[in-house]
Amino acid sequence: MKKVAMYENEKILVLGLARSGMSAARLLHQLGALVTVNDGKDFDENPEAQELLSMGIRVVAGGHPVELLDEEFTLVVKNPGIPYSNPILEKAIEKNIPIITEVELAYQIAEATIVGITGTNGKTTTTTMIGDILTAGLEKGTALLAGNIGAPASTIAQNAQAEDVLVTELSSFQLMGVRAFKPHIGVITNIYEAHLDYHSSRDEYVNAKWAMQQNMTKEDILIVNGNQPELKELARTTKAQVLYFSTSQEESASAYVAEDTIYYLGDKIMTTTELGVPGEHNIENALAAILVAKQFNISNETIKTALQHFGGVEHRTEFVTEIEGCKYYNDSKATNILATEKALSGFDNSKTILLAGGLDRGNDFDELVPSIKGLKGIVLYGESKYKLKEAADVSNITNIKVVNTLEEAVSEAVPMSTKGDAILLSPACASWDQYKNFEIRGNVFKEEVKKIKGKSE
């Protein structure tokens, strides 16, 4: 990693632990900073805080005392999930103390080429696709996945070599805290309305995503979804070279689809049916990944093989298993209506039983109606089940079941299905009514499917 001296003897506050806070605290300590870590969790129940204290790092745990800011810190490094309404952050803003997230630290120390991927949907899948293609095709160096997809970028960057590629998934929360950060290649998969419980407005959310390119130059490359007029308009303002991808044969697109075939600058890569994962949204993800791969001179054959063997990302239209001719898919990551709409686009509704439900965000589900019409069946559970049933009724779905839990939903779905069908968990809701996160929800689904498979063998 690059040796930077800018943090030596600087008083820095790391706000919030979890993986990113731990990484930032360790790195800053290594760089000679005078680090104070503040975390809301009580010290006695906080193994991360205990570990940092054993390293000689000052820890303040069990709350967020605003008076900490009286100590004249020169920088705050915040956990991305902590909102700017936090009293410490509000006081830091009042005192003009810079606030960053750990991806800024990663940029400052990284010797590797950085590829940054952001967007409302498809970030993880696109990041993983890029990683798979580069792993198969790079002549030198290694593709290293970082950010939301795994270990914090500031951890991975410490051991990355100059010939490596840091493939980094970036959230709007992280990008609100960047100053000098820039990727050499940036990807924006799409922008829709999301996270308005964190961002004060849609404009703030869009601006956070767009911040990824704010320091890019004509030497850098920005890859943008050409299907979205909003992004095309924004792209007029960047200093980076812009490359578009599109699921239509659009004149401006370098990677595009024509007659169910994926092309790059007129060269055929593969047919859309050869992709290892279903759905138009995954075609978009693949197009973005192809554009990144081509910047590293990866061959068409290598790209095709990697995308053919791409089996999806856990909890994102993940193929689980096949039981008596019925395929089971786990799309627990679909925590909003748009994600479920995109998942359904890859399936034949007449042969699909959808499992949906959880915690809505105060919304109704009218927007879901066109996408669920013609479903063979739908099983609804959780806090939003009756709201979802209203949409199912409007859609004229004849086979509707309403239950309390996901476990019950899986059991009800099985007798609805026959050979050639798909049972798809794509909740269109957050998990928090019954589960701590969507990963736990997805794992519960897979465990229930595993039980069914055991009984059938």
456, 323 in Cβ contact below 8 A?
Answer: yes
Which residue from 251, 248, 268, 182 is spatially nearest to 221, judged by alpha carbons? Answer: 182
| 124 annotated among ligand-binding-site residues | yes
Q: Per the annotation, does 317 bind a ligand? A: no
| 123 appears as a binding residue in the annotation | yes
Q: Which of 47, 50, 57, 48 is nearest to 20 (CA)?
A: 48
Q: In what order do the strands lie in the sheet with 165-169?
A: 143-147, 165-169, 113-118, 185-188, 221-225, 241-246, 253-258, 261-264, 267-271
Outline where DSSP puts E strands in 75-122: 75-78, 99-100, 113-118
Q: How many other β-carbons are positioned within 10 Å of the β-carbon of residue 31? A: 20
How do strand 318-323 and strand 326-330 relate by DSSP bridges? antiparallel
DSSP H or E run through 381: strand 377-381
Measured distance CA(132)–CA(361) in Å, rounded: 35
Q: Cα separation of 109 and 154, whole Å?
A: 8
162: CB partners within 8 A, 6+ apart: 111, 112, 141
Tell whether residue 122 is among the known ligand binding residues: yes
CB within 8 Å of 266: residues ≥ 6 apart: none
Annotation-wise, does 399 bind a ligand?
no
- The answer to whether 120 is a known ligand-binding residue is yes
119 is in an annotated binding site: yes
Task: Tell me how far apart the alpha carbons of residues 117 and 121 are, in angstroms, rounded to a whole number.
Answer: 11
| Rg, Å, the chain Cα set | 23
Q: Which residues are annotated as a binding site for ATP?
A: 119-125
Residues annotated in a binding site: 119-125
